[in-house]
Structure 1
Amino acid sequence: MTRYAIGDLQGCHAEFVELLERLAFDPRRDTLWVAGDLVNRGPGSLACLREVMALGDAAKVILGNHDLHLLAVARGGARLNRKDTLDDILAAADRERLLDWLQARALLVREAGQAPTVMTHAGLLPQWTLDKAAGLAAEVEACLASERSGAFLERMYGNAPACWHDDLEGIDRLRVIVNVLTRMRFIDADGCLDFAAKEGLDSAPAGFAPWFRYPRGDRVRLLFGHWAALEGRVPGSRVNAEALDTGCVWGGSLTALNLDSGERTHVQSHRLTTDS
């Protein structure tokens, strides 16, 4: 059995299929950790969603910010953005079955061990222990599984509060959890998030640094996507972190990390030729 982790698909279905073929991936034997953002921006969002869903228990899938955006549009009254490529999903005959499956995904998955492997879409706040992070993620997952999910999706968006506090309640509490796990890039020493800077490390605002440059008190191995500008690298990291998003939808590549050997397999984006 081989365990692979893969970054943001974002509708890059042709590259996803090519990557699975290159890996000789067999769902009867192998496991694929998928770091969220299955959909949006690329041309094959519907096909990606169906492809990953068809892997069944062979895929460990978490929600990314684009996946939550799809749910917010479909079930929370949010509007599509100009650059969204979600129309095929919203018009699909199997739309509700796909959305039900997506809404039931976790925000954090982990595998126990002396140095546990953990995957979230954006990373892990250094102020949170692993157990605390898992518990907070479960709060959002429970809300998404409840009758309150529509109201939550309607009010999920927002940059405030920007800082985590244990006494947060209601939508403020859930929003910060979602923002940390699916949108975080730069934070300050208190764990407050900046939402404006989205490019490379040199775009950090004064007083802020990448979340992985703050030390942790454990030996967790952290897998994350979300940050294409890193190009799969975490320079200056003070934690055991693996960046998985290598910007396939932006003309980069789609990358699979062998979790046992550390080997990375890349498939170049097809958009270099189709979009030129």
Structure 2
Amino acid sequence: MYKKLHFISYLALLFFSINAFSFEEKSIRDVYQYELTKGESYQCFWLSEVEKTLVCSFADMYLMNDIFLGASLFVENKDQQLLDFGKQEDFEQFLHYRDIIGGHDLRGEDLLLYRKTLIKSCRKNIDVCVNDSENAFFKKYLDKIILDPDTVVISYVAKSRDTLEHEFHHALYFQNDHYRLVVQEFWENELDENTREAIRQRLQGIYDRNNEDLMMNEFQAYILYNSDKVNYFFNINFIEIREMFLERLRVEGLEKLLFRN
């Protein structure tokens, strides 16, 4: 069944082809407004606001997760474990997250490590291998791009503004030193330990709670949602914290970078 799912996704990739070295540069707002044509499974652009950041808009969440989910789970899991589809538990985990994950944010250096680890593992265990969709996408579009470890790749399902906003703010955290420093200082100096612990507990089901950098990165991406979803997600009233954070960004001259209405 797993191989059938990947074969279908692989066929979808063949309907659309782009040149990895001629990606158009667009602003985040223009990316959001871009309309995928009927024959396009996805389209990728370099972001004009954030250096060395490729954003890919997908028509189908399943195809996107077929390509990026294994890498995201590998990077954000504390043990950096690869999915072993010979194990029922791993297969069910893949199906579960494939249905709910709406976007991805991955650094070039992490993607390189994931690819190398997966290819090496496949020599010993055929159930821990690169799937067809993943292999086709990386070979055609990403393998040479991520040779630059400072590259960041983000993805989302077309027209999902909340997800694009979330992933864009991850890109800012990865690529903008000033922004990342402000986030780190806010986390350490403006949040009390009870609030930080509440955030860790809510995120630990998916992410490594002991990775403090990951916790800060996820915190800032969720707190900047232009909605009240963040309050529901964390079960904490973050309105005051959000306003404090936004004020700090204004003072630092960084608010203009955000993808907000």
Which entry has the higher C-alpha Rg, 1 or 2? 2
**Structure 2 length as normaliser, TM-score?**
0.33
Higher strand share: 1
Structure having the higher helix fraction is 2
